[in-house]
Amino acid sequence: MKLKSLGKAINSIKENLSALVSRSKENENQYLVIYRTEENKTKSYIIQKPDLYDSFGNKGEKRDNVGFKAYCYGRDSVRSFRHDRIVSITKL
């Protein structure tokens, strides 16, 4: 991904951050995750504090801990997040 397009994606995320925060259900234990998808798109999610004991592996990669699961406020459900695709994670 080129730096210029990453910069545009980050600016877009910053502009939408306040709307995302206002839509969330709780203010306590929330984290903003900037995430790179399998299609190499940059997305942002507001999630509940990750439970690192609720991690998952990948038998194909022969790895026991590839990521974690956390409640996503935008999707109103539990989602999986791979460690290698997280650009940043920030406590709100």
User: DSSP characters for 32-78?
Assistant: EEEEE-TTS-EEEEEEEPP-TTSEEEEGGGTEEEEEEEEEETTTTEE
Residue 1 has what DSSP assignment? -
How confident is the model over 25-72, as pLDDT tens digits?
Answer: 556 689 999 999 989 999 999 999 887 776 776 656 666 668 898 999
Structural domains of the chain ordered from first start: 3-91 (2.30.30)
- With cut-offs at 50, 70 and 90, classify the pLDDT of residue 17: confident
Average pLDDT, the chain: 80
